[in-house]
Amino acid sequence: MTVNLLELERTGFAQLCAGLGEKPFRARQLMRWIHQFGADDFDAMTDISKASREDLKKIAAIRAPEVVRDTTAADGTRKWLLEVGTGNAIETVFIPERNRGTLCISSQAGCALACTFCSTGRQGFNRNLTVAEIIGQLWLANRALGRGVDLPRPITNVVMMGMGEPLANFDNVVTALQLMLDDDAYGLSRRRVTLSTSGLVPAIDRLRDACPVALAVSLHAPTDALRSEIVPINKKYPLKELLAACVRYLDKAPRDFVTFEYVMLAGVNDSVEQARQLVKLLKAVPCKINLIPFNPFPQSGYQRSDAAAVARFRDVLMQAEYTVMVRKTRGDDIDAACGQLAGQVQDKTRRRERRPTVATA
């Protein structure tokens, strides 16, 4: 059985090369060819001896998920549907901006956390993605966007905000993060890699010690009662525990703040009073707040807050001296916007059969 080299981080490459009798520098060469230059053919690795290349062909391969569909929105946002086997597909999104390019990466086929406003959460859960399936999204996107030996890097930022809860796939996600940060792979700054979580408190602490990158937390409500209703994991890790974990995380974080994400749901969490509750809730946590217009999907049961409601909510937060951004919706014409990623998932949780009807907000 061949080894998929997209599964390996630095230690794995070193062990592979040692097993072939190669010197340590060969591991660095392999990493650079695969991750910096997007090579998938050993014969293209011209500074590696022909004998070594033949040895690699016998035991190794470079296999990323297969592209099923490649779609570009009117605003330049690009979405790939990727086959990951067993009847499942995931989605990856590239968001081009003037001074940066951000890739939104998935970590699971589906999601088990069942946030009520999220298309991925509605469809159920199949399995965790492997390291190769996670880092393979970055590898594929770089190739598709034209990165090569003498070409500039199109992707400057990575956000683990695609399908799935990253911290529920902890080991594979951390290995992929280490590759993103490795100077012989993608060489991204910790400040330019963001992991978004719905609030798995013990895993936030583990991430702080294992691979602290920028942290974003899907908050979406200012009280435990409402958050438990729309983000069910809150029943296990309520707001007091979650915010304490965020403060602990800042001890080792590359930024001196946590980003809180707040999807604006009309008549559910967007009142001025709820903004005041949010001000009080976050007063002890250095943070920035992203207000995210809800992106509709069929039978969601929710509506997007109108611009006036968002402005009122934002103004309350800004008057309390919080840094607030209202996220611009990107790629919604190809269902690539926040909360819309659905892919194709064989639902082993059988949530579709059990799901109650969601009342219209």
The CATH number given to whatever domain includes residue 157 is 3.20.20.70
Q: Which candidate in 91, 133, 165, 261 is catalytic? A: 91
- Shared domain for 50 and 74, answered yes or no, is no
Contact yes or no for 123/346 (Cβ under 8 A)? no
Residues 140, 123: Cα–Cα separation, whole Å:
25
- Shared domain for 21 and 138, answered yes or no, is no
Q: Which domain holds residue 71?
A: 66-354
Examine residue 341 and state whether it is found in any structural domain, yes or no.
yes
Residues 23, 43: Cα–Cα separation, whole Å:
19
- Shared domain for 203 and 137, answered yes or no, is yes
The pLDDT score that the predictor gives to residue 297 is 82
Torsion of CA 185, 195, 233, 80, to 10 degrees: -70
Residue that terminates a domain, selected from 18, 43, 61: 61
Examine residue 214 and state whether it is found in any structural domain, yes or no.
yes
Pairing of strands 101-104, 89-96: antiparallel
- Shared domain for 23 and 141, answered yes or no, is no
pTM above 0.85, yes or no: yes
Residues 190, 246: Cα–Cα separation, whole Å:
17
Is 104 assigned a catalytic role? no
The SS3 of residue 238 is coil
Is 321 assigned a catalytic role? no
Residue that terminates a domain, selected from 37, 61, 85: 61
Examine residue 359 and state whether it is found in any structural domain, yes or no.
no
φ/ψ (deg, to 5) at 191: -70, -20
- Shared domain for 51 and 77, answered yes or no, is no
- Shared domain for 53 and 135, answered yes or no, is no
pLDDT, one tens digit for every residue, the chain (361 residues): 799 999 999 999 999 999 999 999 999 999 999 999 999 999 999 999 999 999 999 999 999 999 999 999 888 899 999 999 888 899 999 999 888 899 999 999 988 998 989 887 777 888 999 999 999 999 999 999 986 555 567 899 999 999 999 999 999 999 999 999 999 999 999 999 999 999 999 999 999 999 999 999 999 999 999 999 999 999 999 999 999 999 999 999 999 999 999 999 999 999 999 999 999 999 999 999 999 999 888 888 899 999 999 999 999 999 999 999 998 775 555 454 444 445 555 555 544 444 433 332 2
Residue that terminates a domain, selected from 45, 61, 77: 61
- Shared domain for 7 and 75, answered yes or no, is no
Q: Which candidate in 104, 115, 211, 338 is catalytic? A: 338
The pLDDT score that the predictor gives to residue 343 is 53
| Total count of domains within the chain | 2
